[in-house]
Amino acid sequence: MRLLKQLLPVMVVAFIGGQLVAAVQDNAVLCLVVGLATAVLALFVYAKVVRWSERRQPVEVAVKGATARVGLGVLIGVAWFGAVIGNIAFNGAYRVDGFGSVTGPVGLFGYMAAAAVTEELMFRGVLFRIIEGRTGTWVALVVTSVLFGAYHLLNPDATLWGAIAIAIEAGGTLAAAYVATRNLWVPIGLHFGWNFAEAAIFGTEVSGNGQNDGLLHGVTSGPALITGGQFGPEASGSAVTFGVLLTIVFLWVARRRGNLVPRRRGARAATTATVAQ
């Protein structure tokens, strides 16, 4: 029951905010404002429902230190995508045909902020955290990664392989980032940094959502294994490879810090009960 009490309010904010952002996407300034407002409201709602349902302070979204943690996540996310697109370009599958839009990235900033915050609150803040408490880190990582990948099948140009790739690379990395730091700011920043670099800087497709009007007019061509095909670079072999490596690094840090939660007895039954809630 606790899972639904926390998940549903955040989902409502995410859905309404997403509809509003889509409605104003042709106006960069409005898209920025609505996107940021959605992100802030989602954080406020999450904090409220956690206080109400768990009778504790939501330290995972504590304001103190948030800027530095988000900044660290953004740097990791941008560097991660930079390595991926660099590898695609090295294989002759990505080129820049010129400059794109100056205003496009402004609107994309708001859009990506809303997406990063709401998705991290839903998948790592609620689902992963609660499932981990019942079953341990490893079961929670697998379950939420699969759910995160499946969630992206709703996108217009989604593919089965794209969803699997997202589950492996992003589902694993973002959950591991949360476990390593025990706050949501680093995965939020990482999620945002990756998406913003992918769309607003290099002008490529994000998770099967269509081409974006970024600073650069980027073009990918070649085998889908290298480029990610219609789903975008997230479905490329290099994205999966670098994502797995980053997941391993975060889990190593988590282990060093003693942040891994061991598998509980009766974890299988607990997982079923948790998801049913």
Q: Which tens digits make up the pLDDT trace of 82-94?
A: 999 999 999 999 9
Q: Which residues pair with 96 in a beta bridge?
A: 218
Residue 198: which of 84, 107, 115, 276 has the closest Cα? 84
Rg (C-alpha) for the chain, rounded Å, is 18
Q: How many CB atoms lie within 10 A of CB 91?
A: 16
- Mean pLDDT calculated for residue range 77-105: 91
**Cβ partners under 8 Å of residue 91, min gap 6:** 222, 226
Identify the band that residue 269 occupies on the pLDDT scale cut at 50, 70 and 90.
very low
The model carries a pTM of: 0.92
d(CA 167, CA 162): 9
Residue 157 has pLDDT above 90, yes or no: no
Residue 53 has pLDDT above 80, yes or no: yes
Do residues 40 and 17 touch, judged by C-beta distance below 8 A? no
pLDDT tens string 182-236:
999 999 999 999 999 999 999 888 876 766 678 888 888 889 899 998 888 999 9
